[in-house]
């Protein structure tokens, strides 16, 4: 359902941008049409349904009828006059932005881990809020100027989101894990956290479980005698990172050692041997964590005669 909502969101934004282009370039009155106003009402609810499983993973999925309710405001576009329909649409969008702000505030405990990403997304949020305020007062702004600003804001938001995901491709998974740990009541009350962390490190180092490309949070938790939520909270609260990030760091640490120990091995074979499923995934994770590609790392450290032993991760 979230994937479908994401596709609806992209389609709605594409329709809006098409209408903006037609009006600004060819003076077509598409932005005065009922379908344009209806599309305005679809954007915020679609974003809500798309982002809710990421920001509120602990909350059960919405039943079908509640998702249908999210689409009801679009009917206002056909009932309200154009002079009123647009301000109401942006006022509704501002209400959804308030919900988004509340969810992001709940993630404040993980802000150190998402500092740059939150900054970029914060700019996108500020742009969206500014457009919402401007849209509520649309009658006070020249129509052509408003459309230009609105179209530019949509484009800027796309650029910021793309840059953010380019810097951190696994951001949605990590945010979901952090949100789950932030909202949930502690599941570690009866767990010896120091012992569990020691067993986790020993298990990952001795058996190299990270080399299994299908290794999951639940599978690793069962080997530790923990529940999936317990392991997720343990890694988040004690290591300051999500499970996905922890697993990628384990694999990258192993890849770094292998790149230097086996100079004839191809970069792809190294990535596959430590648990990555493709060269692109390996490159993305390596660049994210080390700031360089595997090949660059190998060239930079090729002259080293000794390989310092660094355990993948020591509990903080």
CA atoms within a 13 Å half-sphere pointing along the CA-CB vector of 51: 18
DSSP 284-302: HHHHHHHSS-HHHHHHHHT
The confidence score (pLDDT) of residue 271 equals 94
The confidence score (pLDDT) of residue 307 equals 46
Based on the fold, state whether residues 53 and 77 are members of the same structural domain.
yes
What 8-state DSSP symbol labels residue 111?
T
Based on the fold, state whether residues 6 and 149 are members of the same structural domain.
yes
Picking from 174, 206, 229, the residue at the C-terminal end of a domain is 174
Q: Is residue 315 part of a domain?
A: no
Give the span between the Cα atoms of 37 and 152, in whole angstroms: 18
Token pair in block for residue 77 = 């576009």
Based on the fold, state whether residues 40 and 120 are members of the same structural domain.
yes
pLDDT of 316 > 50? The answer is no
The confidence score (pLDDT) of residue 80 equals 77
Based on the fold, state whether residues 61 and 82 are members of the same structural domain.
yes
Give the span between the Cα atoms of 55 and 176, in whole angstroms: 6
Token pair in block for residue 188 = 């570690």
How many structural domains does the chain have? 2
119 contact partners, CB below 8 Å, separation of at least 6: none
Distance of CA 146 to the CA centre of its chain: 29
Q: Which of 26-40, 74-88, 110-124, 265-279 has the lowest mean pLDDT?
A: 110-124
Token pair in block for residue 128 = 């969206």
Tell me the per-residue pLDDT of 132-189, one tens digit each, with 9 for 90 and over: 787 777 777 788 888 898 899 888 888 887 877 777 777 677 777 666 666 555 677 7
Q: pTM score > 0.75 for this model?
A: no
Phi then psi dihedrals of residue 36, to 5 deg: -65, -45
303 contact partners, CB below 8 Å, separation of at least 6: none
Q: Is residue 220 part of a domain?
A: yes
The confidence score (pLDDT) of residue 99 equals 79
Q: Is residue 287 part of a domain?
A: yes
Q: Is residue 316 part of a domain?
A: no
Mean pLDDT, rounded, for 259-277 = 92
Give the span between the Cα atoms of 314 and 316, in whole angstroms: 6
Q: Is residue 18 part of a domain?
A: yes
The confidence score (pLDDT) of residue 109 equals 56
- Which spans in 62-114 are helix H? 64-71, 76-79, 82-106
CA nearest to 153, candidates 45, 20, 8, 46: 20
Tell me the per-residue pLDDT of 68-120, one tens digit each, with 9 for 90 and over: 777 777 777 777 776 778 888 888 888 887 877 777 766 655 555 666 666 77
The confidence score (pLDDT) of residue 305 equals 42
Q: Is residue 306 part of a domain?
A: no
Based on the fold, state whether residues 162 and 81 are members of the same structural domain.
yes
Q: Is residue 314 part of a domain?
A: no
Token pair in block for residue 154 = 């949509």
The confidence score (pLDDT) of residue 181 equals 60
pLDDT of 226 > 60? The answer is yes
The mean of the pLDDT values for the chain is 81
Q: Domain range holding 206?
A: 184-301
Based on the fold, state whether residues 265 and 294 are members of the same structural domain.
yes
Based on the fold, state whether residues 249 and 162 are members of the same structural domain.
no
Based on the fold, state whether residues 10 and 40 are members of the same structural domain.
yes
18 falls in which pLDDT band (50, 70, 90)? Answer: very high
- Which spans in the chain are helix H? 2-26, 34-55, 64-71, 76-79, 82-106, 115-136, 143-167, 171-183, 193-207, 217-224, 228-239, 243-261, 267-273, 279-290, 294-301
Based on the fold, state whether residues 16 and 155 are members of the same structural domain.
yes
pLDDT of 309 > 50? The answer is no
């Amino acid at each position: 359902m979230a994937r479908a909502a994401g596709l609806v969101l992209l389609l709605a934004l594409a329709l809006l941008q098409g209408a903006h282009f037609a009006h600004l370039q060819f003076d077509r009155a598409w932005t005065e049409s009922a379908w344009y106003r209806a599309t305005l009402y679809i954007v915020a609810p679609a974003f809500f349904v798309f982002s809710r499983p990421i920001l509120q993973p602990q909350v059960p999925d919405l039943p079908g009828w509640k998702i249908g309710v999210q689409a009801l405001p679009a009917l206002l576009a056909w009932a309200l006059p154009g002079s009123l329909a647009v301000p109401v649409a942006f006022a509704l969008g501002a209400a959804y932005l308030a919900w988004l702000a509340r969810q992001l505030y709940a993630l404040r405990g993980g802000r150190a881990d998402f500092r740059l990403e939150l900054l970029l997304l914060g700019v996108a949020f500020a742009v969206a809020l500014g457009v919402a305020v401007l849209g509520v007062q649309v009658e006070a702004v020249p129509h052509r100027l408003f459309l230009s600003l609105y179209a530019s804001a949509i484009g800027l938001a796309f650029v910021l989101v793309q840059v953010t995901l380019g810097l951190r491709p696994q951001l949605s998974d990590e945010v979901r894990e952090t949100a789950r740990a932030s909202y949930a009541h502690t599941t570690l009350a009866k767990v010896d956290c120091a012992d569990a962390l020691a067993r986790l490190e020993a298990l990952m180092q001795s058996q190299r479980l990270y080399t299994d490309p299908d290794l999951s949070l639940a599978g690793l938790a069962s080997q530790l005698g923990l529940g999936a939520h317990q392991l997720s909270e343990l890694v988040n609260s004690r290591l300051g990172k999500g499970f996905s990030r922890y697993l990628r760091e384990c694999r990258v640490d192993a890849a770094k050692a292998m790149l230097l120990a086996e100079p004839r091995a191809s970069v792809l074979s190294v990535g596959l041997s430590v648990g990555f499923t493709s060269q692109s995934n390996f490159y993305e994770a390596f660049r994210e964590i080390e700031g360089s590609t595997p090949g660059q790392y190998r060239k930079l450290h090729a002259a080293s005669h000794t390989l310092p032993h660094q355990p993948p991760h020591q509990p903080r």
